[in-house]
A and B are shown apart, each in its own frame.
Chain A
Amino acid sequence: MPPFDPIQHALSVNRRTFLTQSAYGLGGIALALLQNKLTAATGGALAPSALPPGWSGHLREAHLPIRAKRVIYLCMAGGPSQFETFDWKPQLKALDGQLFPASFTQGQQIAQLQNSVLKARGPFTNFQRHGRAGIEISDLFPHIASVADDLCVIRSMQTEQINHDTAHAFMNTGSIIKGRPSMGSWLLYGLGAETQELPGFIVLNSQGKYGLQPISARQWSSGILPSRFQGIQFQARGDAVHYVGNPDGVCQSTQRQVIDEIRNLNNSLAEQTHDPEIATRIAQYELAFKMQSSVPELTNFKNEPAAMLDLYGIKEPGDGSFASNCLLARRLAERGVRMIQLYHRAWDHHSDLEPGMKTAAKDVDQATAALIKDLKQRGMLEDSLILWGGEFGRTPMGQGTGRDHHILGFSVFMAGGGVKAGTVYGSTDELGYRALENPVNVHDLHATMLALMGVDHRRLNSKYQGLDVRLTGIAGEVVKGLMA
C-alpha cells in the first residue's frame, strides 16, 4: 500500500468503520455492504459512458449543465486600472487633481497611499461605445473592443486582499491560507483532463516593460491535493516543461530503449512484490515519453500559417511574449488541456500610469482579441471559458504619476462558454471607488466559473486534516446574471 493519501481518507474511514473494528463484525452482509461502499466511493461500478464526455476526475456526474469544457485565464498580474480599461468615469475625470472626497475613503483599506493626501486622478484615456450593447471600452484596447459582442464585462468585482501576494493567492485559491488548491487543481481533480499526453493544467508566463510584480508557484499549486493536480509551468527558456528534453548525447530511440528496459526491471519487481504502485510507475514512464514528443510538437508553430501569426501579432513564434502564449493557449485548448493560465506581469502602475498602461495594453490587446476570434472560428469559443483580469484594480486616487492598489471595485471580463455575451454586469459609484450594483466577489466568480463547467462548487470537496474541505472555500454564490 502506498502511504496515506488524504483523498483516500474518506475511503479508509469506511474501511475502518465497516471492516476491521466495526460492531458489524465480519459478517457476510457487512462484507457485501463494504463492497458497495467501496465501489461507490471509487466509482468503479460506473461504466465510463455514464460520465459526462471528457470527464475523468473525481466527480461522477455533472451537477449542472456543462457549458464550458476548459478555462483560459488571462491573468493581468499587477492589477490593471479599471479607469483606463472598462470603467468609464467622467465625474472622476472632472475631479482630476482635486481632493478625493473623504466620505468615500474613511476607514477603508489602503496600500501605498497610507498616510497621504488623497487626490482624484481622472482617466487619461477616452472611451467609446462598442458592439451591439454599446459597451464602453477604453481607446487603449481597440482589438478587444472589436469583439465587444463576445464579452461579458464585470464592473463590480471586489476582492479582500490588497497586496499582490495575498491577492493572487485569494484570486487563485479563494483563500490566503497556504495549502489551498488553486482553481486549475479543482478542475483537474474534479473533471480530469481530456489529454493524456500533456499536463491537464498549464501555466504560461510573459512580462511587460513596466509595472512588474513577482508571482509564485503557489498560485498554481495543488495544495492539499496530490501533486498530480498541480499546474505545470511552461518555461520561456530551455525545455518548455522541466526535464522534458533528453540529456545531451541521448537520442529519442535510446531514450525509448531506456524506458523499455526500466519497464523490464519494474515488471520483474512487480512479479515478486505485487506492489500495485509499480504498474502506475510503468504507466507514468510511458506518459513521460509521450510528453517528450508531444511538448515539442505543441510548441512548434511551424504549421501555423503566417496569417495566424499576424492575427495574434506574434513577432517571433515561441518568443515568450503574451501574443505567442495566446496562440500556444489555443493549441493547448485544442489538445484537451483543462485549465490554461497565462500571466502577463505588467500592470502595477504606482507610477508612470500612462506609459505603463499604453505599453501593457499594446502587449495584450491584439492577442487577447485574436484568441477569442480564433477560438470562435474553430467553433471552440462556445465551450471555452475565458477570464481576463487582474488580482485587484486600482484607486481612483492618484499616487504620484500612477494609481495605488484597490479592492472595492474593479473590472474583469469573461467570454465564451455559457457566458452572457455582449453585456456589462454590475457597476461602481460615480467615482469608481466601490462596486454598488451587483457586486461580485472572488468566491462568486469562482462559483460561477465552476457552474459553467457543470460543477456545483458546494459539492466539490476533498478530505483534509479530517475535514471535508470544500475546495472553493465556504463562501460564494453563482451569479446567474453572468450566464447566458
Chain B
Amino acid sequence: MIRPALLCIHTFVLALLISVASAASNPPRVQFNRDIRPIMSDTCFHCHGFDAKSRKAGLRLDRREDALQPTKHDLLPIVPGQPDDSEIIQRIMDVADPMPPIEMHKQLTLEQKELFRRWVAEGAVYEPHWAYAPLTRPPVPGKKKLNPIDAFIRAQLTAKKISPAPEADKAQLLRRLSLDLTGLPPTPAETAAFLADYSRTAYEKQVDRLLASPHHGERLAVWWLDVVRFSDTVGFHGDQNQRIFPYRDYVINAFNANKRFDEFTIEQLAGDLLPNPTIEQRVATGYNRLNMMTREGGAQSAEYIAKYGAERVRAVSTAWLGSTFGCAECHDHKFDPIKTRDFYELQSFFADIKQWGVYSDYDYTRNPELKGFTNDFPFPPEIEVASPYLAGRHQRTEAELTALITTMRQRAAEPTGATRYATWIDETRAYLDRVPSGWEPIKNATFEFRLRDKLIPAHPLKIEADGTLHLEKPLEFRESLRLIFRPDGGRVTAIKVEVLSEIVQNKNPVWRYPVAPLTVSASVQDAQGKTRNLKVVFAEASAKMPRFINGTEFHGIAAGWRLPTPAKKEILTGVWLLAEPLALASGESLLLTLAGEELPTVRLTTSHLGAPHPLEVASAATLAALTATTRNPTQENLLIDTWLMSTAADPAAFSRYHQTIAKLNELGGGKAMTMVTEAVAPLTVRVLPRGNWQDQSGPVVLPATPSFLPGRRESTTTQRLTRLDLAQWIVSPDNPITARAVTNRLWAMYFGTGLSAAVDDLGSQGELPSHPELLDWLASEFRDGGWDLRHLIRLIVTSATYRQSSEFRPELRETDPANRLLAAQNPRRLEAEFVRDNALFIAGSLDLRDIGGPSAKPYQPAGYYTAIQFPDRDYLVSDADAQWRRGVYSHWQRTFLHPMLANFDAPARDECAAQRTTSNTPQQALTLLNDPTFVESARLFAARILAEGGKNDTTRLRLAFQAALARSPKSAELKSLKNFLNTQRLTYRAAPAEAEKLVRIGLAPPSLGDPTELAAWTTVARVLLNSQEVITRY
C-alpha cells in the first residue's frame, strides 16, 4: 500500500520538475488569446481592427484570413511560419519607423516583439475570442472527489508548486459566510453554536441556514440593483422621485425564491409580453424604465428618446452580455467586433416601450396624455400593486383605529361623559331646528381681496342668502378672497365648499402650470383685527384631480383642491374639518380665505357638526340618528362618534384619532404604484451617424441580436422580433456570453475579483480569465443546469478555495502579487450598504422586521439637497418606523447620492454599474467617526454591552468583541481598551453635560443608566465600529 503511493508522489514531482525544466529551456507555444490578442488589442486594433472607418492601409489584423491577404501596398502582413517575410514583424522591429507609430505612445517591449515573432513562426494560429466562443463544459481536472472549483484552482497551484492556504479559523469563516450570504455578521450565539458543532456537515448546515435566510435575497439585491441602475429618482435635471420600489421587492423575492435566472431575465426584459402576464411579471418590467429620464423645460423629445435608447443598449449589454456597446453608438467598436449597426439593432428591441422624451406637457412640446403634469407628478406608465410592507402596516393601523374608536365610545358610557353627551344632543337638535340641513350659509359677511398679503380693490362679489358667492371673474394667480363673519353661536367644526358653476380652464404660462388649486384656510379675527390661524385636520372632496408632492400623491384636499376636468354635471363638494371644534369668544369672527385660479361660483357653508370623515358631516344618517326618538345601536354609535368629533370631548383621543387616520391615508390601502413597461407601436430606429440624433440619413434597422455572437436572430420584413425574443435568445443555449458574464460577476462577490477581473468587459480589451476552464465550467453548470444561481453560490462557498484563510502570504508577493491564483482568500471591504447594516446590527438596532417596502431615509446632513430644484427638495429623515432599515432600502437620489453611500463607493446608478471601486479615503474615516448613524449605533451598542455583557469590564469587552468581530479580544487588546475605557470614564465623569449630549444622538430613545458610564462605553464602541476589521470581511 505504501510503496505505490510513494511512487506516485515521486512520479508526480518528477513530472513537475520535467515540466518546469522544459519551460525554462523551451518555452511553451505562444497562444493567441493568452499572449497575442491582448497586445494586438492594445496596440494594433485601433487602426487595424473591426472598425472599417478608422482602418489604415487596408490592413486588418483581427481576422486571420484578412491578415494573410496582401494590403493596399501589396505587402503581405503575415506569412505563417515565415516571420522574416511578414510585414508586421518587419514593422514592429523597425527602429526608425516602428509600429505602432511613436505618436501613439504605445511602444512594444522587446519581449512583446519576440512573442509576435515566435507566434508567426509557430504558424500564426488565431483563436476565437474566448468570451464569444461557444460554451462547452471543460473536463474537471484531477480527482473526482474534489469540489470542481477546487479541482481547477488546485491544478494551477500545483503546476506553480504553490500550496493552498489553510482553512480559515472557524469563527472567522462563519463571519465571512454570513457577511457574504446575508450582508449581516453572525450573532455571538450563532458563532457559539457553530463552534460547538463538531459534525462533519457543520459548515454545510450554516450554508443551508444562511441561503434560506430572507436576508440572502436582500444581499443579492444590492449586487443586482447596481446592474439594473435601480434608483428612487429620475436622474436628469430636477431629479424627481419615481415610483418603483415594488420592483426592488420583486428582485429580493426572486432571489429568495431562487427564481431561475432565465425566468428572471425574461420577466425583467419582457414580462409584459408573456401570455397573460402576472402582476409580478409586469412589476419586473420596471427594469426597462430605470433609465434616467427628464422633464426639463426646453428639452427636445427626440433628443432624449435617442439618449434613453442608447442608454438601454449600454445597460442591457453590460448587464447580460458583459460587453461594452457604448462606443458603437458613434462608430464601429475599435477593439471588439461590435458594429454601429449592432448597437441600433439592439436598441430597436426596446423601441416599443411606452415613454416620453420629456415627461411633461409644455406649451412648446405637447404631450396631451400628460396634460396638467407638474414637476411633482410621477412618471407613467405605472400600475398599482399590493405591497406586503404597506399592507401589514395598514392592517395594524386599522386595528389601532378600531381599538381607539372603541375606547373613545366608552366615554359616552361614563357618568360625566353621559351627561355631556345628552346635553350635546339637546343642543344639536336645537341647532337643527335653526339649520335643518346642518350646514348654515355664511351670513353678514364682510369681504376683501388680496394679492399675496396686499389689499387690492375688491372685485364685484354678490353673496346670496344660501351662501352662494358670485364672483364676476375668477381669482387671478396669487389673489385671494377673505370673508369675515360670525357663524351661528360662534361655533364651527366643518367648512363646506360646493362648486356650482362650470370649471374654468385657465391658460397659463408654463412656469406656473397648471393653475393654482382651490384652497380654504380659516382663522379667528378678534375685535382689534388680530388674527390667529386655525388648523385643518382633514379635508376631502367628492371628486378631485390627483395632486402630488415630489411624486407622492396628496391625500385629501387640505393642501389644495384641483377640480376635476372636464367639468362634470354634478355639484362638487369639498369639506374641511378643523383640528379643534371652534367656539368664538365675543367680539371674535371667523375669517375664511379662499384662493385658487379655479375658483368659480361656489356655495360656502359651515357646520357645528363634525364627523370621522369630512364627507360624512351632517350626513343623512347622522341627521336621522339625531332626530330619531329611539336609536338602534348603529345609530347610537354614529351619534357618539359625531359627538366626539363635534366637540372633541376627549381632546387627546380626538387628536390621536386624526393622527391615526393620517397614517392610514399614507399607507395607501396597502398598495403602491410602480413604473412598468407598456408596449406600444414601436418607434422607427435608425442608425444615427456619429450618434447625432438630428441626422436622419442613416438606414432604418429592425431588432436583431448582436452579429458577433452565436445564434443570431434577425427580424424579417414580415416578422419583427420583440423584447421577448431578445430575452429568450439571451438565455438560450446558443448564447455563450451571458452565463460567462453573470458567473464571473458572481465570483467577484465571493473573492473580491472576477475570474476575469474586468467584470464589465469580457471583450478583447478585458482580461483573459485567470482560470478560463473554471469560468467555462461554472458558466456551463449555470446555463445547462437550469440557471440555478443558488446552486452556483453553494458550490462556491462550500469550496475549499473559498474557505481558505485570507491572511496575506508574503512569500507569494513576487509570484502572485494580485492573488489571482487564489492561494488564499481575499479580504474584502464591505459595500457601503453593508458597512451601515453591520454597524446597526452590532448595535442591535438594525430593523429586520420586514422584507421589502418603500425606500427609507437615514440621517443625512441638512441642506444637502439645496441645489436640487423642480420641485425644491427637503430630505425628510425617516421616523423610528423606518430609520434603521437595511441599506438596500436607502433612498437613492441620483444627483446627490447619500454622502455615506457615496463615500463608501456606492454608484449613483445613473447607468449600469457592474463593478464598484473600493477606495480608502479620509471621507470614510470621517463618516464612521462622526455620521450620526454611526454615533447612534455606538451608543446603542454601548447600552447593549452594558445590558448583556455581564458585570465587569472584562466580560463586557468580551461580549463587545464577540458581537462586533465574532472573536475574543487578544490580551493586548483587552488591556489597551480597558485603559482607554478608564480614561473615558474620567473624562465624562468630569463633564457629565457632554456625556448627556453624546448619549442622546439620534432618534432612538436614550438608554437608561448613568450617562457618564454610557458615554465612556459609547466611546469604546466607536473605536470598535471604526476598526478595519469591522468593515472588512476577512
A→B interface (CB under 8 Å): 1-6, 9, 12-13, 15-27, 30-31, 33, 37, 109-116, 162-166, 176-179, 199, 205, 207, 212-218, 221, 225-228, 230, 232, 235-239, 241-251, 254-255, 257-259, 261-262, 264-266, 268-269, 272-278, 280-281, 284-285, 287-288, 291-292, 343, 345, 350-351, 400, 404-405, 459, 465-468
Does more than half of chain B's interface fall in helix, strand or loop, or is it mixed?
Answer: loop
B23 touches A178 (CB 8 A): no
Proximity string of chain B (763-775) to chain A, C-beta cutoff 8 Å, 1 when within and 0 when not: 1111110100000
CA separation between A3 and B751, bound complex, in Å?
8
B71 touches A (CB below 8 Å): no
How close is A235's CB to chain B, nearest CB, in angstroms? 6
- Chain B residue, CB-CB nearest to A165: B237
A163 touches B294 (CB 8 A): yes
CA separation between A218 and B314, bound complex, in Å?
19
Q: Give every chain B residue within 8 A of A251 (Cβ-Cβ).
A: 991, 994
Number of A-B contacts (CB under 8 A): 363
Partner of A20, one of B759, B821, B1026, B1027: B821
A111 touches B236 (CB 8 A): no
B365 touches A114 (CB 8 A): yes
- Chain A residue, CB-CB nearest to B764: A466
Partner of A467, one of B759, B765, B921: B765
Shortest 8 CB-CB distances between A and B: which pairs? A466-B765, A249-B998, A111-B298, A249-B997, A178-B910, A216-B895, A288-B925, A237-B863
Q: Which of A17, A30, A37, A250 has the most CB of B within 10 A?
A: A250
Q: Give every chain A residue within 8 A of B29 (Cβ-Cβ).
A: 23
Q: Give every chain A residue within 8 A of B932 (Cβ-Cβ).
A: 247
B767 touches A16 (CB 8 A): yes
B861 touches A (CB below 8 Å): yes
Q: Give every chain A residue within 8 A of B294 (Cβ-Cβ).
A: 163, 165
B788 touches A (CB below 8 Å): no
B1019 touches A (CB below 8 Å): yes
B576 touches A (CB below 8 Å): no
CA separation between A23 and B821, bound complex, in Å?
17
A285 touches B925 (CB 8 A): yes
CA separation between A3 and B867, bound complex, in Å?
34
A179 touches B911 (CB 8 A): yes
Q: Give every chain B residue within 8 A of A262 (Cβ-Cβ).
A: 1023, 1026-1027
Proximity string of chain B (689-711) to chain A, C-beta cutoff 8 Å, 1 when within and 0 when not: 00000100000000000000000
Q: Give every chain B residue within 8 A of A24 (Cβ-Cβ).
A: 27, 111
Q: Give every chain B residue within 8 A of A20 (Cβ-Cβ).
A: 160, 770, 816, 820-821
B896 touches A217 (CB 8 A): yes
Using known A-B contacts A15-B818, A23-B29, determine if residue A4 contacts B980 with beta carbons closer than 8 Å.
Answer: no
Q: Scan residues 874-898 of chain B and give those whose CB is less than 8 A from a CB of chain A.
A: 894-897
Q: Scan residues 885-923 of chain B and give those whose CB is less than 8 A from a CB of chain A.
A: 894-897, 899, 902-903, 905, 908, 910-911, 913, 915, 917-923
Using known A-B contacts A1-B752, A23-B31, determine if residue A214 contacts B918 with beta carbons closer than 8 Å.
Answer: no
How close is A417's CB to chain B, nearest CB, in angstroms? 26
User: Which of these binds chain A: B34-42, B263-271, B445-453, B459-467?
Assistant: B34-42
Using known A-B contacts A112-B364, A163-B237, A272-B807, determine if residue A468 contacts B42 with beta carbons closer than 8 Å.
Answer: yes
Using known A-B contacts A404-B298, A466-B763, determine if residue A275 contacts B808 with beta carbons closer than 8 Å.
Answer: yes
How close is A249's CB to chain B, nearest CB, in angstroms? 3
Q: Give every chain B residue within 8 A of A18 (Cβ-Cβ).
A: 111
B820 touches A247 (CB 8 A): no
User: Which of these binds chain A: B143-151, B433-441, B651-659, B969-977?
Assistant: B969-977
Interface size of B by Cβ–Cβ distance < 8 Å? 143
Q: Give every chain B residue within 8 A of A247 (Cβ-Cβ).
A: 929-930, 932, 935, 998, 1001
Q: Give every chain B residue within 8 A of A268 (Cβ-Cβ).
A: 970, 972-973
Q: Which of B296, B364, B752, B921 has the most CB of A within 10 A?
A: B921
Q: Give every chain B residue within 8 A of A248 (Cβ-Cβ).
A: 997-998, 1000-1001
Further 18 A-B residue pairs, CB within 8 A, beyond A22-B35, A166-B236? A1-B818, A2-B826, A4-B752, A9-B758, A15-B818, A15-B820, A163-B296, A214-B239, A214-B869, A216-B894, A217-B895, A237-B861, A242-B899, A249-B994, A249-B998, A254-B984, A269-B1029, A273-B1034
How close is A403's CB to chain B, nearest CB, in angstroms? 12
B759 touches A4 (CB 8 A): yes
Using known A-B contacts A205-B866, A226-B917, A468-B42, determine if residue A274 contacts B807 with beta carbons closer than 8 Å.
Answer: yes
CA separation between A178 and B820, bound complex, in Å?
30
B867 touches A214 (CB 8 A): yes
Proximity string of chain B (8-35) to chain A, C-beta cutoff 8 Å, 1 when within and 0 when not: 0000000000001001100111110011
Partner of B1028, one of A31, A266, A466: A266
A4 touches B239 (CB 8 A): no
B758 touches A214 (CB 8 A): no
B111 touches A258 (CB 8 A): no
B862 touches A (CB below 8 Å): yes
CA separation between A105 and B1009, bound complex, in Å?
75
Q: Which of B30, B765, B862, B1015 has the most CB of A within 10 A?
A: B765
How close is B67's CB to chain A, nearest CB, in angstroms? 20
B910 touches A218 (CB 8 A): yes
- Chain A residue, CB-CB nearest to B46: A468
A273 touches B808 (CB 8 A): yes
A217 touches B869 (CB 8 A): no
Q: Which of A27, A37, A111, A459 has the most CB of B within 10 A?
A: A111
How close is B546's CB to chain A, nearest CB, in angstroms? 24
B→A interface (CB under 8 Å): 20, 23-24, 27-31, 34-35, 38-39, 42, 105, 109, 111, 115, 118, 160, 236-239, 292, 294, 296-300, 303, 307, 314, 324, 326-327, 335, 362, 364-365, 509-511, 694, 748, 752-754, 757-761, 763-768, 770, 806-808, 810, 814-821, 826-829, 861-864, 866-870, 894-897, 899, 902-903, 905, 908, 910-911, 913, 915, 917-927, 929-932, 935, 970, 972-973, 976-977, 980, 983-984, 987, 991, 994-1001, 1015, 1019, 1022-1024, 1026-1029, 1032, 1034
Q: Give every chain B residue within 8 A of A162 (Cβ-Cβ).
A: 298, 300
B27 touches A351 (CB 8 A): no
A236 touches B863 (CB 8 A): yes
A235 touches B863 (CB 8 A): yes
Q: Give every chain A residue within 8 A of B867 (Cβ-Cβ).
A: 205, 207, 214-216, 343, 345
- Chain A residue, CB-CB nearest to B920: A280
Partner of B996, one of A228, A249, A278, A284: A249
Using known A-B contacts A216-B896, A258-B929, determine if residue A115 contacts B902 with beta carbons closer than 8 Å.
Answer: no
CA separation between A269 and B911, bound complex, in Å?
37
Partner of A17, one of B38, B864, B868, B917: B38
CA separation between A242 and B768, bound complex, in Å?
41
B42 touches A227 (CB 8 A): no
CA separation between A285 and B335, bound complex, in Å?
42
Q: Give every chain A residue within 8 A of B326 (Cβ-Cβ).
A: 177, 465
15 inter-chain pairs at a CB distance below 8 angstroms, sorted by A residue, are: A3-B829, A3-B918, A23-B31, A112-B364, A213-B869, A214-B237, A227-B902, A227-B903, A247-B929, A248-B998, A265-B1023, A276-B808, A285-B925, A343-B867, A467-B761
Partner of A246, one of B39, B820, B930: B930
Q: Give every chain B residue within 8 A of A273 (Cβ-Cβ).
A: 806-808, 827, 1034
A112 touches B920 (CB 8 A): no
A214 touches B299 (CB 8 A): no
B766 touches A466 (CB 8 A): yes
B920 touches A165 (CB 8 A): no
Partner of A227, one of B510, B758, B919: B919
B810 touches A274 (CB 8 A): yes
How close is A218's CB to chain B, nearest CB, in angstroms? 6
How close is B230's CB to chain A, nearest CB, in angstroms? 15
A250 touches B299 (CB 8 A): no
B869 touches A243 (CB 8 A): no
Q: Give every chain B residue within 8 A of A254 (Cβ-Cβ).
A: 984, 987, 1019
Partner of A1, one of B753, B913, B976, B999: B753
B300 touches A114 (CB 8 A): yes
- Chain A residue, CB-CB nearest to B364: A114
Q: Give every chain A residue within 8 A of B976 (Cβ-Cβ).
A: 261, 264-265
